Structures are given as structure tokens and as C-alpha cells.
């Protein structure tokens, strides 16, 4: 009768082994989650940079368009003034 408890105590503690394995899995999961979060943040930063470049191009195009309209408007006003004065 005394042999069974001694043999059981000499073997590995199955709960301890499971706890260590579970902790290792938790660590790996946390590391994978951090990597996914970092990758998501990098994709978000790249999308934001592309959006800023696109917005900058749009603003430049609108500024050119408005300035072209201004030049055309000035020409029309000049023509109207010339006709009004009768030169």
C-alpha cells in the first residue's frame, strides 16, 4: 500500500505540466495578437498617408481650376470693359 503513493509522487505533476503548457499558449496568443495589432496599425498608417497624398492632389487640382476660372473671368471682364468704353 505504501508503494502506490510513492510512485505517484515521483512522476511529473500533470496539473503543473498543464499549467506550464497553458501559460506558454497564452504567451504565444498574446504575441500573435500584438503582431496582428501592429500590422493593422501599419496598414492604417499607410492608408492614411495615401489619403493625405490624394487629398493634397485634389486640393491642388481645385486651386488650379479656380485660378483658371479667375483668368477666364478676368478676360471676359476685360472684353466687356473694352466694349463698354468703345475702344
pLDDT digit string (tens) for 58-84? Answer: 999 999 999 999 999 999 999 999 999
Q: Which domain holds residue 77?
A: 13-85
Within-domain flag for 8: no
Whole-model pTM: value is: 0.49
The number of distinct structural domains making up the chain is 1
7 falls within a domain: no
Q: Residue 5 falls within a domain, yes or no?
A: no
pLDDT tens digits for range 4-48: 554 455 556 788 888 888 999 999 999 999 899 999 999 999 999
| 47 within a domain of the structure (yes/no) | yes
Flag whether 3 is in a domain: no
* Secondary structure, 3-state, the chain: CCHHHHHHHHCCCHHHHHHHHHHHHHHHHHHHHHHHHHHHHHHHHHHHHHHHHHHHHHHHHHHHHHHHHHHHHHHHHHHHHHHHHCC
Amino acid at each position: 500500500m505504501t508503494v502506490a503513493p510513492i510512485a505517484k509522487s515521483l512522476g511529473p505533476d500533470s496539473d503543473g505540466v498543464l499549467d506550464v503548457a497553458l501559460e506558454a499558449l497564452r504567451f504565444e496568443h498574446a504575441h500573435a495578437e500584438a503582431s496582428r495589432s501592429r500590422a493593422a496599425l501599419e496598414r492604417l498608417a499607410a492608408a492614411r498617408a495615401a489619403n493625405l497624398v490624394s487629398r493634397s492632389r485634389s486640393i491642388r487640382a481645385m486651386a488650379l481650376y479656380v485660378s483658371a476660372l479667375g483668368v477666364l473671368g478676368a478676360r471676359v471682364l476685360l472684353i466687356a470693359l473694352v466694349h463698354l468704353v468703345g475702344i
